Amino acid sequence: MSMTRKRFDHINQRIAEAMQNSQRSADSPVTLLAVSKRHSWDKIQALYELGQREFGESYVQEALEKMKQSPHKDIIWHFIGPIQSNKTKDIAPNFHWVHSVDRLKIARRLSAQRTTHETLSKPLNICLQINISQEPQKSGFSTDEIFTAIAEIMTLPHLKLRGLMAIPKPSKAPAEQKLAFKQLRELMQQLNQRFNLQMDTLSMGMSGDLEAAIAEGASIIRIGTALFGPREY
Ligand SMILES: *Cc1c(COP(=O)(O)O)cnc(C)c1O
């Protein structure tokens, strides 16, 4: 069995067990996002052949190169990296999802630039990144800021506001991991109620904490190294 196959089976096994332990209903599935940043096209192709369709990238130019190499029309491309405002014009028309919208200005630009012929009628799915552990060096809206920003973001015409994303402070303690994910879930519930929204996506959980994230309701988990091995470059 190939290394890729082994890793893919192992992650899917962990997800299946976590789903069972959390007693989530069948109508709240979890999506495995394969984070392929700093891995070559060949690695993506190998996972594609095993059935994987959702891939996450963090660097715009690198991602655009891979999209050019890809013969597959059914890959769903997610942008999950930090966003400089001069990059939104390349992100808006080329991705299906952006998880890392961390300021109002970026949301405005993504909406304004989602206007090519092919994308005009398909809103860009976005998640708002929340600095859930309140780390000064980390990007993301604070839990206060989000209540004012979202009032405008929800009106932007070419975006579809799908949910929230967070990268909590790393911890090895399951109880601590769960606390941050629970806070994100409750924040989404509050925002949905207050603004009458139907956000349905919690992008949370990585290789070391996917069990805690699934227990707290993750809908997309973002896995890189545990699927692809160490990054190639
Ligand atoms: C790189 C990255 C991941 C995946 O990290 P690994 O440690 O390789 O599993 C997940 N989420 C975000 C936002 C990332 O930048």
CA 104 – ligand 1 centroid, Å? 23
Question: Using the 8-state DSSP alphabet, how is residue 45 labeled?
Answer: H
C-alpha distance across the termini of the chain, in Å: 25
Q: Which of 11-20, 111-120, 147-156 has the lowest mean pLDDT?
A: 111-120
Q: What pTM does this model have?
A: 0.97
Average the pLDDT over 32-60 and give the result: 98
Would you kindly state where each structural domain of the chain is located, as residue ranges?
Answer: 30-228
The residue whose CA is least distant from atom 4 of ligand 1 is 224
pLDDT tens column, 71-100? 999 999 999 999 999 999 999 999 999 999
Mean pLDDT, residues 211-233: 96
Q: What CATH fold (topology level) applies to the domain 30-228?
A: TIM Barrel (3.20.20)
Inter-CA distances, 140 with 72, 88, 202, 229, Å = 32, 16, 15, 28
Residues with CB under 6 A from ligand 1: 35, 37, 58, 80-81, 167, 206-207, 222-226
**Amino acid, res. 89:** K
| DSSP assignment of 120-186 | TTSPEEEEEEB-TT--TTS-SB-TTHHHHHHHHHTT-TTEEEEEEE--PPP-S-HHHHHHHHHHHHH
Q: If you measure from the C-alpha of residue 206 to the centroid of ligand 1, how many angstroms do you get, rounded to a whole number?
A: 7
CA distance linking residue 153 with residue 188, whole number of Å: 15
Amino acid letter for position 79: F
| 83 CA → ligand 1 middle, Å | 15
Which residue from 10, 33, 35 has its CB within 8 A of the most atoms of ligand 1, so it is best to mutate? 35
Q: What long-range pairs does 132-137 form, CB within 8 A, spacing at least 24?
A: 132/166, 132/168, 132/180, 132/183, 132/184, 132/187, 133/166, 133/168, 133/169, 133/180, 135/169
